[in-house]
């Protein structure tokens, strides 16, 4: 791969949000490496994009719940000198309450949503820092800040993605490396069927088109926004949320118990 502006590696690229990112980044001039479990689906996405703009596209079938496949993708990232964007989009979701969910399924979800995302980020970021440029886009979810919705383990994994992205962004400040977390709400993808539900169960008014979601997230990336919430009209609500969180900094650890716990004289 030798695109003038580099290569974008996208996980979960065989459909939905990942496939849209592939289309949009190719249109911006990036060569692509598309990763997902299904070789056939990946190749269909690749052929559609090649027909539109002629970008160089490699498909790389891999199951990121398998440690050996994760290791293969890590090596791919570490050995590609043209790597410039990593989109960590692959993930599993769940809508059933915790007590109605299989623990092995929950463990697999944690492995993909948390462990694989972390390992791939660690594989890409050092060379980004050495080069002074590069972008990591982590697809989280609104349930990362509203864990009472859907499945609690799923919400927990996406809360990790947000916290990890925030911490990484701060750690890499001044290095030229960009980090963004994208928080989709309900989106018209096959997520719902894979999670044991259906889009038909949701009001049409809350379901966003995947293309609109990605276009908004990329616009936020261009503006330097760490957290992109494409459905949120009043950005001040997120600012207030962050301000309230940051107001507690420096007040959460103390030798003494807070005075409010003292028994009244």
Task: Convert the pLDDT of each residue in 70-93 to its tens digit.
Answer: 999 999 999 999 999 999 999 998
Please state the length of the chain. Answer: 265
154 a catalytic residue: yes
Per-residue DSSP letter, 144: G
Is the pLDDT score of 4 beyond 80?
no
pLDDT tops 60 at residue 122: yes
Q: What is the pLDDT of residue 204?
A: 85
Instruction: Please give the pLDDT value at position 95.
Output: 84
Q: Contact at 8 Å (CB) between 36 and 68?
A: no
Q: Is the pLDDT of residue 208 over 80?
A: yes
For the chain, the domains span 7-261
Q: Name the strands in the sheet holding 7-11, side by side, starting at the edge strand that comes first in the sequence.
A: 57-61, 31-36, 7-11, 83-88, 134-139, 177-182, 227-228
pLDDT at 3 over 60: no
| Residue 203: per-residue pLDDT | 81
pTM across the whole model? 0.93
CATH of 7-261, one of 3.40.50.300, 3.20.20.450, 1.20.1260.10, 3.40.50.720: 3.40.50.720
| pLDDT for residue 174 | 97
Report pLDDT for 205: 85
For residue 98, what pLDDT is reported? 82
- Answer whether residue 8 shows pLDDT above 80: yes
Q: Can you tell me the mean pLDDT for 41-45?
A: 97
> Which residue is catalytic, options 60, 154, 241, 261?
154
pLDDT attached to residue 222: 97
């Amino acid at each position: 791969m030798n695109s003038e502006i580099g290569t974008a590696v996208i996980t979960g690229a065989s459909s939905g949000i990942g496939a849209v990112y592939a289309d949009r980044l190719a249109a911006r001039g990036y060569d692509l490496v598309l990763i997902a479990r299904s070789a056939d689906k990946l190749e269909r996405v690749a052929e559609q994009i090649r027909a539109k703009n002629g970008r160089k596209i490699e498909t790389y079938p891999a199951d990121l719940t398998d440690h050996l496949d994760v290791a293969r993708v890590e090596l791919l990232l570490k050995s590609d000198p043209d790597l410039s964007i990593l989109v960590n989009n692959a993930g599993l979701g769940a809508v059933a309450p915790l007590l109605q969910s299989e623990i092995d399924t929950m463990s697999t979800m944690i492995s993909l949503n948390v462990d694989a995302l972390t390992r791939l980020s660690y594989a890409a970021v050092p060379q980004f820092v050495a080069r002074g440029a590069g972008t990591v886009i982590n697809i989280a979810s609104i349930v990362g800040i509203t864990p009472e919705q859907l499945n609690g383990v799923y919400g927990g994994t996406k809360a990790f993605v947000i916290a990890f992205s925030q911490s990484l962004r701060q750690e890499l400040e001044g290095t030229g490396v960009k980090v963004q977390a994208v928080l989709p709400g309900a989106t018209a993808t096959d997520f719902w069927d894979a999670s044991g539900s259906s889009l038909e169960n949701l009001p049409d008014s809350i379901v966003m088109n995947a293309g609109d979601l990605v276009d908004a997230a990329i616009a936020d990336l261009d503006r330097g926004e760490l957290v992109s919430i494409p459905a949120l009209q009043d950005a001040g609500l997120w600012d207030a949320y962050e301000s309230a969180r940051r107001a507690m900094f420096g007040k959460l650890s103390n030798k003494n118990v807070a005075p409010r716990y003292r028994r009244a004289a």
